[in-house]
Amino acid sequence: MGRTGTVRPATHPLTGFLVTATIEIDHPTELAAGAGAVWVTHLGPGTVSRIDPATEAVATIKVGRGQGHAAGCPRRDSWRTVRHTASMYSDADAAALYDLLNPWGPSDDFYLSYLLEAPSVLDVGCGTGVLQHRARESGHTGRLCGLDPDGAALDRARTLGDVQWVQGRAADMAWDREFALAVMASNVFQVFVTDEELRASLATTRAALVDGGLLVFGTRNPRVREWEHWNPSNPLDVVDHAGRELRIVYHVESVTDDVVTFTETTATRDGEPLRVDRASLRFLDVEGLDAVLGGAGFEVEAWYGDWSRGPLTPTSDDIIVVARATRSTRPGEPLEDIAAERVKIERFPGWR
């Protein structure tokens, strides 16, 4: 096992929860095998957080040599949905923190301009609903609908009743030609990491749109490799809505093909983890996007490289897509085949 030392009860210094074990280990990675519900994601001095299976509270395991962030819960496949340490930093806290870390910006202005032009809007992965709120405040009088699987985010969204808020996943949507516009703001598109979920989510989005409706979204440009900055040497210090001084740290666990899996640790300023969220995001390039959108019944009308509608180039941070729902979803044609073809994109000479 590589584990040495003693197992003894202790109390977590912040929460008072019972810590079930203090274990000295030679190699923290072996903790995963030894302690069951613990993933150790990187080494470093200090402590490792884990879920205590008995209480579902956070416990701390002191490791003999090195330590790391650990996500002590089963992985779910989308951002911010890992159930974790409700008592230390709740989902409601995390939703409030999201709004604090993501203030209104140029991308929101970009999306809002489409919302205000459309009589009916579906916000796929609406999160805390900021975009829809702003649209209503700005005088939108038509139908506004936001969908998201994250209940805590939706609780914040629901402070505005004049919007239809629906809890669920994109792939499970069942609207039939009801919306003139669908948006996936703040890189929601990237949460669809498997071919199946991506295809299903685009198919339901297409079905929710009237013929000729628009889908507008952005996705991070894989060529910029933004994930290379998601590491503990780039911590983010923030004071949250409750006045708590926090340090947010990212750590990439793996990059497999175009899927990046990483953790976001919400910690005290001295590094005590309060919450660890694990997520996977897919980074599709222009060719892959064009292919998968075509397969779902969309035709891309515009590609932009920034939120002022500047041209898309290989160094653009974002790939911004405006796609028209041209026809019903084309059945068959698996994404792998389409992607393998790597359709030649003649429309964007600057991309090569």
Task: Give the residues lining the site for ligand SAM (CB under 6 A).
Answer: 78-80, 102, 124-127, 130-131, 148-150, 153, 169-170, 185-188, 191
3-state secondary structure of 188: helix
Closest separation between CB of residue 150 and ligand SAM, Å? Answer: 4
User: Helices in the chain by DSSP H: which ranges?
Assistant: 29-35, 91-101, 106-115, 130-137, 151-157, 195-208, 286-295, 335-341
Closer by beta carbon to ligand SAM, 61 or else 188: 188
The rounded distance, in Å, linking the Cα atoms of 78 and 80 is 7
If the CB atoms of residues 80 and 275 are measured against ligand SAM, the closer one turns out to be: 80
Alpha carbons 21 and 333: distance in angstroms, whole number: 52
| Number of alpha carbons in the 13 Å side-chain half-sphere of residue 307 | 17
Residue 40 DSSP class: B
Sign of the Cα torsion 107, 290, 225, 223 reads negative
DSSP 8-state code for residue 70 = B
Phi first, then psi, for residue 111 (nearest 5°) are -65, -40
CA distances from 144 to 132, 156, 216, 262, 292 (A): 7, 16, 15, 33, 26
Structure token digits, residue 325: 């729902």
Q: Which is nearer to ligand SAM, 19 or 121 (CB)?
A: 121
Bridge partners (DSSP) listed for residue 51: 58
Q: Could you tell me the smallest distance in angstroms from the CB atom of residue 178 to ligand SAM?
A: 17
Q: Least distance (Å) from ligand SAM to the CB of residue 128?
A: 6
Going by C-alpha positions, the residue among 259, 301, 299, 304 that lies closest to residue 280 is 259
> Least distance in Å: CB of 149 to ligand SAM?
5
Cβ contact 185:107 at 8 Å: yes
Taking the complex as a whole, the smallest distance from the CB of residue 274 to ligand SAM amounts, in Å, to: 20
Measured from the CB of residue 111, what is the shortest distance to ligand SAM in angstroms?
Answer: 8
Q: Which is nearer to ligand SAM, 79 or 303 (CB)?
A: 79
User: Between residues 38 and 202, which has the closer beta carbon with respect to ligand SAM?
Assistant: 202
Q: Which of 77, 55, 7 minimizes the C-alpha distance to 35?
A: 7
Shortest separation between residue 8's beta carbon and ligand SAM, angstroms: 39
Smallest gap from Cβ 243 to ligand SAM, in A, equals 23
* 333 close to 250: Cβ distance less than 8 angstroms: no
**Residue closer to ligand SAM (CB basis): 148 or 272:** 148
Cα separation, 103 vs 100, in Å, equals 6
| Smallest separation (angstroms) from ligand SAM to the CB of 136 | 15
- Name the minimum Å distance from CB 32 to ligand SAM: 25
**Cβ nearer to ligand SAM, comparing 264 with 272:** 264
- Of residues 264 and 290, the one with the C-beta less far from ligand SAM: 264
Contacts with 113 (C-beta within 8 Å, 6 or more apart), sequence order: none
Q: Which residue is nearest to ligand SAM (CB)?
A: 127
Name which of 117 and 196 has its Cβ closer to ligand SAM.
Answer: 196
**Of 17 and 98, CB closest to ligand SAM:** 98
Chain position carrying tokens 């069951």: 36
